[in-house]
Structure 1
């Protein structure tokens, strides 16, 4: 009987749960993902090795060198080498080989040596894949706990394509990502953007076959994977996308690489480094590389060291206190000139803050680079409850004629469903926002067909009106229903204060009557 997706996920979580005696849940990912990927590689290698042996059963006269050449030419796409070659401890750096030694001392050391050997044997594919591997130290993760995790994970069925599709493998990986994020609070936001937010951005940007996709703060790689999944869902071939990402944290970059491999996406490049300080994707002349589709959920209001001189700094340099607009400037510089488009999630402050940010905002609007501002609900993310917005940009001169010299504002702040730890966007919420984004608008900026905006507050606003508002992009300035709510807030506060004062006076009168009657103990 086939094992279901739910059973696979349950067994993987059982393995992760063995770590509860040694570390907080926020740290599980640093151990579970390398082990899971190691098992996947080992199961895949051994499956292909058995096929090689079956197909070449009669070739006993082959030398070891000839057999190795045929196997790696025709069957294997990566190598699982031997460790401790030339010694009595020699063994293959595979999951099953090391699992057989779980009761022996120094298990963590053998695991580390095996993972490092795989990286070294496959530098083009797996360089720095497994991260720092600090968890392999006995003082961090005792050998008996590591052994229990491996034994529990070994109860997951063989993780090769002949036994388990990449859709199942990728789904299991994403399940763990979400489970770790749900349980680890603010730390999760460093590498995991809620899936429905990712889907919305990807739907808005609509990647096409053979396009290049870039995430300058890629975290676990979710936006890159979602781009390929959407293309596949629309009848295209997701593997034709050229995927690129940069991530500041080496271990998180490793999570992204493993995630992409588990989804059978091999045309990717994930680099480690600070995107603002040291962008790793560059042209031969040293300028930043350019891409067709750019998406990001950068760290909000990050303190940074501002550029002294940088060609990315159109309109000025973002203040030291917040790098929000610096990430936008980097993405604008990285948009391809013919069809480059970018979607980025940022806090509402980028829409109206003054000073240096206002100067950058003015330049971006005067150059007609901003296409849309989409207000999202509060409490969507793991690391903050603040309201956020998606900003959509287009390369200079590439906006559709009807979208030129203006910005589309969409209010989706009320479109959410309450979940256990946060709010979520449903499939219909996403579809409605995309419909409003793709709708046509009349000369006054209102939807030509109100049904196409799906009941969302939406309006196309000409740049002249925004300039008259000193380039303030606050949605409440341009969408009536938000403005009305803001206007109603003052009277509501006044009414509340009046009712509160009346209640206090009534309580005082009641207490005075009770006290006069000799009844005490009701006052605070």
Structure 2
């Protein structure tokens, strides 16, 4: 009988809930995802092992080596090795084998040894997959709690292709990601981007069969998976995409790798490292590797060590106080020159902040690399309540003729519904944004079909107008209906301080004039 989505989700959450006595919800993912993936690998291996035994009943004369060769050639795609081979403690590094020892001391040590053995036996597939595994220490997670989690998870139906589809399995993984994010506050932003935002970006960029997709701050891999899912939903072959990601946090990179495997996506490479300081994807000559599609939701206004000399720094170097434009510069350098396009979510400040950021913005606009700015509602993300925008870039000279020498600006800041912890874009909202993005525009930059965008304010703004505005891309400057909320607190404080200083100067001049006229007594 087929396993329902609801059934597996409920069982997995029951397992996660056993951790409530040992750690805050924000840390659940570091335990649950490795255990879940281990069970998935073990169930899958056991399923194919039983198929091998059933198909080869008449081959009792096979030696152990011959049997192993046949099984791993024709049935298995990865190895579950033995731990402590050649000793009385020898046992297979599988879920069921270790579960049988659950009442014995040292459970965490056996779990750790099993996961490490799987990584070592499958270096091409599972190297560094399970992360740091600090939770296997008795000091971090007691054997009693770990046993309770494993027993609860064991009540989950068998996780193999003969019992459940990868759609169900991947959906369960996504369910846990979202559930952990809902309960973990700002930390969630490091590995989970709301799926409706991901969907919007991927729909705009429209990956095609056999293209490469790259996320330089990939978190849990959601944007890479969404690219494959979208292509499949549109009748394409999502499994043909070549997926690449880099993530600064090793444990989060492990979550991404497991997530991709759970979705039956195997053409991927996820590397660990700081993308700005140490980009891991490079050409043989040492230059930055280039891809067809680049997607990202980088950490906002990240303090960083600016480049001293780097070919990615077109237009200048982003200030130490904010790496926002540095991530954009990296993405631009990563675009394939013939068909590359990129979509990134950033705070509104990147549209109008001055100084070094203004110089970079000017260069990118002069080079006609920015295709569109899509203003999003506030409070969409787990890590911040500020409004954000999607910036869409195209490789030099690859914009469509009608999008040359200008920027399409769309305001979707009012399009959301309120959920428990944040605002949410609905499917209708996403559809309206996409309609506006794909619209034609008249000579004045207005949509040819003004009702076709679902009431969204949208306009194609020529670069000449943006230049006259000092390269300021503030949405409210070009769309009168744009939300007041787009101005972030920092901008308002700067404006206040400027006005206050001007007022003080005026008062000083007035007092000086009055004093010269012999009029005194004003309270300064």
Aligned to 1:33: 33
CA distance in 2, matches of 1:164, 1:484: 48
Superposition deviation, residue 302 in structure 1: 0.1
| 1:454 equivalent in alignment to 2:470 | no
Aligned to 1:217: 217
Superposition deviation, residue 428 in structure 1: 0.6
Aligned to 1:271: 271
Please tell me whether the aligned partners of residues 107 and 143 of structure 1 are also in contact (alpha carbons under 8 angstroms). Answer: yes
Superposition deviation, residue 454 in structure 1: 1.9
Please tell me whether the aligned partners of residues 170 and 262 of structure 1 are also in contact (alpha carbons under 8 angstroms). Answer: yes
CA distance in 2, matches of 1:480, 1:67: 73
CA distance in 2, matches of 1:483, 1:382: 21
CA distance in 1, matches of 2:457, 2:71: 60
Aligned to 1:77: 77
| 1:280 equivalent in alignment to 2:280 | yes
Cα deviation digits, residues 23-73 of structure 1 (max 9, x gap): 000000000000000000000000000000000001011110000000000
Superposition pairs of residues 325-340 of structure 1, within 5 angstroms: 325-340=325-340
Aligned to 2:517: none
Aligned to 1:353: 353
Cα deviation digits, residues 145-196 of structure 1 (max 9, x gap): 0000000000000000000000000000000000000011100011100010
Please tell me whether the aligned partners of residues 407 and 461 of structure 1 are also in contact (alpha carbons under 8 angstroms). Answer: yes
Question: Number of aligned pairs?
Answer: 487
Superposition deviation, residue 481 in structure 1: 1.6
Aligned to 1:141: 141
1:484 to 1:90, Cα distance in 2 relative to 1, 3 A: closer
Superposition deviation, residue 480 in structure 1: 2.1
CA distance in 2, matches of 1:348, 1:384: 13
CA distance in 2, matches of 1:432, 1:38: 41
Superposition pairs of residues 286-435 of structure 1, within 5 angstroms: 286-435=286-435
Superposition deviation, residue 484 in structure 1: 9.3
Aligned to 2:131: 131
Please tell me whether the aligned partners of residues 228 and 239 of structure 1 are also in contact (alpha carbons under 8 angstroms). Answer: yes
CA distance in 2, matches of 1:426, 1:485: 20
Superposition pairs of residues 442-481 of structure 1, within 5 angstroms: 442-481=442-481
| 1:256 equivalent in alignment to 2:256 | yes
Superposition pairs of residues 216-255 of structure 1, within 5 angstroms: 216-255=216-255
Provide structure 2 residue ranges, at least 5 long, that are not aligned to the other structure: 488-524
Please tell me whether the aligned partners of residues 387 and 485 of structure 2 are also in contact (alpha carbons under 8 angstroms). Answer: no
Cα deviation digits, residues 377-425 of structure 1 (max 9, x gap): 0000001000000000000000000000000000000000000110000
CA distance in 1, matches of 2:75, 2:459: 57
CA distance in 1, matches of 2:14, 2:468: 59
CA distance in 2, matches of 1:189, 1:406: 32
Please tell me whether the aligned partners of residues 477 and 483 of structure 1 are also in contact (alpha carbons under 8 angstroms). Answer: no
Superposition deviation, residue 452 in structure 1: 2.4
Aligned to 1:497: none
Aligned to 2:121: 121
Aligned to 2:518: none
CA distance in 2, matches of 1:374, 1:246: 25
Superposition deviation, residue 485 in structure 1: 9.9
Please tell me whether the aligned partners of residues 19 and 145 of structure 2 are also in contact (alpha carbons under 8 angstroms). Answer: yes
Aligned to 2:176: 176
CA distance in 2, matches of 1:90, 1:421: 48
CA distance in 2, matches of 1:476, 1:168: 43
1:91 to 1:485, Cα distance in 2 relative to 1, 3 A: closer
Please tell me whether the aligned partners of residues 2 and 164 of structure 2 are also in contact (alpha carbons under 8 angstroms). Answer: no
| 1:190 equivalent in alignment to 2:190 | yes
Aligned to 2:205: 205
Superposition pairs of residues 62-101 of structure 1, within 5 angstroms: 62-101=62-101
Aligned to 1:162: 162
CA distance in 1, matches of 2:99, 2:451: 59
CA distance in 1, matches of 2:303, 2:483: 32
CA distance in 2, matches of 1:383, 1:485: 18
1:107 to 1:483, Cα distance in 2 relative to 1, 3 A: closer
Superposition deviation, residue 272 in structure 1: 0.2
CA distance in 1, matches of 2:453, 2:153: 47
Please tell me whether the aligned partners of residues 214 and 245 of structure 2 are also in contact (alpha carbons under 8 angstroms). Answer: yes
Partner SS for 2:452: helix
Provide structure 1 residue ranges, at least 5 long, that are not aligned to the other structure: 488-524
1:263 to 1:251, Cα distance in 2 relative to 1, 3 A: same
Cα deviation digits, residues 440-466 of structure 1 (max 9, x gap): 000100001112222100000000000
Please tell me whether the aligned partners of residues 253 and 272 of structure 1 are also in contact (alpha carbons under 8 angstroms). Answer: yes
CA distance in 1, matches of 2:481, 2:108: 59
Structure 1-normalised TM-score?
A: 0.92
Partner SS for 1:130: coil
CA distance in 2, matches of 1:71, 1:482: 62
Please tell me whether the aligned partners of residues 4 and 168 of structure 2 are also in contact (alpha carbons under 8 angstroms). Answer: no
CA distance in 1, matches of 2:269, 2:87: 36
Cα deviation digits, residues 194-238 of structure 1 (max 9, x gap): 010000000010100000000000000000000000000001110
Partner SS for 2:203: helix
Please tell me whether the aligned partners of residues 457 and 481 of structure 1 are also in contact (alpha carbons under 8 angstroms). Answer: yes
CA distance in 1, matches of 2:215, 2:349: 22
State which drifts further: 213-222 or 450-459.
Answer: 450-459
Superposition deviation, residue 2 in structure 1: 4.0
